[in-house]
């Protein structure tokens, strides 16, 4: 149909201000937030922006580059709290919660963010603050490096897992089947699981059928954070 060809969207007819790279990436973030990552297509995004698909290439180079730039925006909105008059451990907790909140705001981009290496230094101020606080807590040298990796890997990794989604394919109703399978396990071979199933089902990794998007694991995250901080404390002296 000739109806679907060519950009006739929003007031872009006539001579418009040129696109900018930032504009394109912003639009990509919004599109992924709204329609999911697998719906984010150069062609679909172009149509949304009232432009020809190939126009995007001038600004972002390629689709992988666009997706990388979009996923790098996830942690962008975060403004780190001041360190003044607050203990390093509560500061770290606050920051962890901020990171988690930011990730929950863009769940469709988190899989990319979690599995792709950063290719720019936009996170440098963020890194500096964390390092400063950990150094203030008493970690230096390789200990500082390792503890930093512990914290970052824990927070970003844990929430990435929390936000796991069902395969884009999954037909409605697989959850029923999964839940049934779970409740049908043999109590003799799986006694602990059976005994704790009421608390576990849909609440724990590998025994849940809803994503953390729809069913946030708040309490478990709090515990995880507590375990992390206690572990760090015990390493200081």
Partner DNA sequence: ACCTGAACACCGTTCAAGT
State which of positions 57-116 bind DNA (CB under 7 A): 57-59, 62-64
CB of 216 within 8 A of CB of 104?
Answer: yes
For residue 27, give both structure tokens. Answer: 């639009």
**Minimum distance between the CB of residue 78 and its own copies, rounded to whole angstroms?**
13
Q: Please, which residue, 16 or 128, has the CB nearer to its own copies?
A: 128
For residue 88, count other CB atoms closer than 10 A to its CB. Answer: 20
Residue 121, helix vs strand vs coil: coil
Told to check if 7 binds DNA by CB under 7 A, we report yes
Q: Which of 89, 99, 112, 95 is nearest to 32 (CA)?
A: 112
* Whole-number Å distance between alpha carbons of 39 and 26: 16
Q: Which of 82, 142, 169, 181 binds DNA (CB under 7 A)?
A: 169
Residue 98 contact, options DNA, its own copies, none, Cβ 5-8 Å cut-off depending on partner type: none
Between the alpha carbon of residue 212 and those of residues 83, 100, 103, 104, 158, the distances in Å are: 30, 11, 11, 8, 11
Query: Under rule CB under 8 A, which residues in 52-91 are in contact with its own copies?
Result: 61-65, 67-68
Which range touches DNA (CB under 7 A), out of 13-21, 78-86, 122-130, 132-140? 13-21
Residue closer to DNA (CB basis): 58 or 190: 58
Nearest distance from residue 69's CB to its own copies, in Å? 9
Site for its own copies in 133-172 (CB under 8 A): 135, 141-150, 152-154, 156-170
Cα–Cα distance, 123 to 187 (Å, whole number): 49
Contacts with DNA by CB under 7 A lie at: 5-7, 16, 18-19, 40-44, 51-55, 57-59, 62-64, 169
């Amino acid at each position: 149909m000739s109806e679907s060809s060519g950009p006739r969207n929003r007031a872009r007819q006539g001579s418009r201000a040129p696109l900018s790279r930032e504009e394109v990436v912003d639009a990509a973030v919004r599109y992924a937030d709204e329609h999911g990552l697998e719906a984010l297509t150069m062609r679909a995004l172009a149509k949304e922006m009232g432009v020809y698909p190939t126009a995007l290439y001038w600004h972002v180079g390629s689709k992988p580059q666009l997706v990388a730039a979009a996923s790098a925006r996830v942690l962008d909105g975060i403004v780190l709290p001041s360190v003044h008059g607050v203990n390093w451990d509560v500061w770290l907790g606050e920051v962890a919660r901020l990171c988690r909140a930011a990730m929950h705001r863009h769940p469709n981009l988190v899989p990319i963010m979690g599995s792709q290496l950063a290719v720019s230094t936009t996170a440098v101020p963020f890194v500096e603050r964390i390092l400063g606080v950990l150094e203030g807590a008493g970690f230096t040298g390789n200990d500082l490096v390792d503890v930093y990796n512990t914290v970052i890997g824990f927070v970003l990794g844990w929430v990435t897992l929390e936000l796991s989604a069902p395969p884009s394919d999954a037909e409605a109703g697989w959850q029923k089947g999964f839940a049934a399978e779970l409740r049908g396990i043999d109590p003799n071979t799986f006694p602990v699981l059976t005994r704790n199933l009421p608390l576990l089902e849909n609440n724990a990794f590998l025994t849940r059928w809803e994503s953390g998007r729809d069913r946030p694991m708040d309490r478990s995250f709090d515990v995880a954070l507590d375990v992390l901080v206690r572990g760090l404390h015990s390493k200081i002296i």
